[in-house]
């Protein structure tokens, strides 16, 4: 049995939940309340000194960093693949994932926003402007890349969900939470709408997690 340490609103936990659901894996869930800084307490620091979620435990094996976790899942559980069979396709999916996971998400991560608020005394309007700037810039490029691919179906790549969709849907959720105008991104919005109709994505939604408010 796997155990996933995560937080309902964490985008990295969200993408990991999606991948595990798509691969139809059973797992226990242990919530780490980032809003109460439980990730900084000694108990969790002994699990992951970096103080980040998600962490996945399988017996005495501990997995860290969602990109590495998704790659591990793909290698160990090849059924319901989340990467294309061909090298060019795998490159495309990894590139789309990196556009989100490396160039959009980190800049609106809670740690960054808390630093802006608490250490640099940036007011909330400026924090929101920061989020809008980097999310919009990233979505601009991603939308163009998706529009260029005339062969894809209802997902980021091809006709089935991949890593890229695992990354995209949590980022759209964050954008909605920060009230980013998504009207300029019809491909992104369509992919998000379609994915949310699938059980694996719906079951991973932050608001249906055990640690979500009113869950």
pLDDT in tens, 84-128: 999 999 999 999 999 999 999 999 999 999 999 999 999 999 999
pLDDT value of residue 1: 85
pLDDT value of residue 214: 80
| pLDDT mean over 210-215 | 88
For the entire predicted model, the pTM comes to 0.97
Structural domains of the chain, ranges and CATH numbers in brackets: 2-80 (3.40.30.10), 87-200 (1.20.1050.10)
For residue 4, what are its two tokens? 């996933």
Instruction: State how beta strands 61-64 and 55-58 pair.
Output: antiparallel
pLDDT in tens, 5-46: 999 999 999 999 999 999 999 999 999 999 999 999 999 999
Asked whether 95 and 88 are in contact (CB, 8 A), the reply is no
Asked whether 10 and 52 are in contact (CB, 8 A), the reply is no
DSSP secondary structure of 115-183: HHHHTS---HHHHHHHHHHHHHHHHHHHHHHHHH-TT--SSSSTTS--HHHHHHHHHHHHHHHTT---T
**Residue 215: pLDDT band by 50, 70, 90 thresholds?**
low
């Amino acid at each position: 049995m796997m155990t996933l340490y995560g937080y309902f609103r964490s985008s990295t936990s969200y993408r990991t939940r999606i991948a595990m659901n798509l691969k139809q894996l059973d797992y226990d869930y242990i919530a780490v309340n980032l809003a109460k800084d439980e990730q900084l307490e000694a108990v969790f620091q002994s699990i992951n000194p970096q103080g980040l979620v998600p962490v996945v435990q399988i017996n005495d094996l501990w997995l860290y960093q969602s990109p590495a976790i998704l790659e591990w899942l793909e290698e160990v559980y090849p059924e319901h693949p989340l990467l294309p069979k061909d090298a060019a396709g795998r490159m495309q999916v990894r590139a789309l994932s990196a556009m989100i996971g490396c160039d959009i998400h980190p800049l609106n991560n809670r740690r960054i926003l808390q630093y802006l608020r608490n250490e640099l005394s940036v007011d909330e309007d400026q924090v929101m402007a920061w989020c809008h700037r980097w999310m919009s810039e990233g979505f601009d490029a991603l939308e163009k890349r998706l529009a260029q691919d005339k062969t894809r179906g209802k997902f980021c790549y091809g006709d089935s969900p991949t890593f890229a969709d695992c990354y995209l849907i949590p980022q759209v959720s964050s954008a909605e939470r920060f009230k980013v105008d998504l009207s300029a991104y019809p491909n992104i919005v369509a992919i998000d709408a379609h994915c949310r109709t699938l059980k694996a994505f719906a079951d991973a939604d932050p608001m249906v997690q055990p640690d979500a408010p009113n869950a």
